[in-house]
Amino acid sequence: MNQPHTAAQLVDTGPICCTAFDDHRLVWRPCRTWHTPEGYISVVTEIGHDGPSVTNATGKVYAALQRVRPGCRVIEHYLADSTSPERFAEILPAPPGVTAGVRVGDGIIWQHIPMAELRAVLGDPLETTRPAGPVEHGTWPTEAGR
């Protein structure tokens, strides 16, 4: 097994719930949070079932996680599907004056992050705790537990 290059520790695996920006429906998504020497990193996964996507609640997800862990890096995670590979993007506040790629109303932008970069920081739990299904009763099936 690969060992993480830093002392990243998985500290929370509870789901996050926010409302979508466009119609205010609830969005429940798996959220895994690690503590690293540089601070917290939360990975919120789109699990592709009915309801708004995590993208439609990105600004609120970011704000909610910042309230709990100020300065936390927030990563949006999409599992592989028939049209796209697995991918990660960091959610960032849009710099002043930047409008290209900024979601209206949320004031956030996305920055692609290679999986290898995250794996180097977070280690094996990035993959062994990968959600494999919808959130049910506060937990979700993982790739390891399938």
- Structural contact between residues 73 and 44, judged by C-beta atoms closer than 8 angstroms: no
Strands 39-46 and 31-36, sheet pairing: antiparallel
* Radius of gyration over every alpha carbon of the chain, rounded to an integer in angstroms: 15
Position of tokens 């959600």? 131
Q: Enter the pTM of the model.
A: 0.79
- Residue 77: which of 32, 120, 40 has the closest Cα? 32
* Separation CA 90–CA 16 (nearest Å): 17
pLDDT confidence of residue 1: 43
pLDDT tens figures, 25-84? 777 788 999 999 999 999 998 876 555 667 767 888 888 899 999 999 999 998 887 888
- For the segment 12-21, the average pLDDT, to the nearest whole number, is 78
User: How far is residue 46's CA from residue 16's CA, in Å, rounded to a whole number?
Assistant: 11
To the nearest whole number, what is the mean pLDDT of the chain?
77
Cα–Cα distances in angstroms (integers) from residue 144 to residues 60, 73, 129, in the given order: 29, 25, 7
Q: What is the pLDDT of residue 32?
A: 92
pLDDT tens-digit readout, 93-141: 888 777 666 665 577 888 889 999 999 999 888 887 877 655 554 444 4
Q: What is the pLDDT of residue 69?
A: 93
Query: Which DSSP state fits 71?
Result: T
Segment 14-20 mean pLDDT: 78
85 CB-near residues (< 8 Å, 6+ apart): none
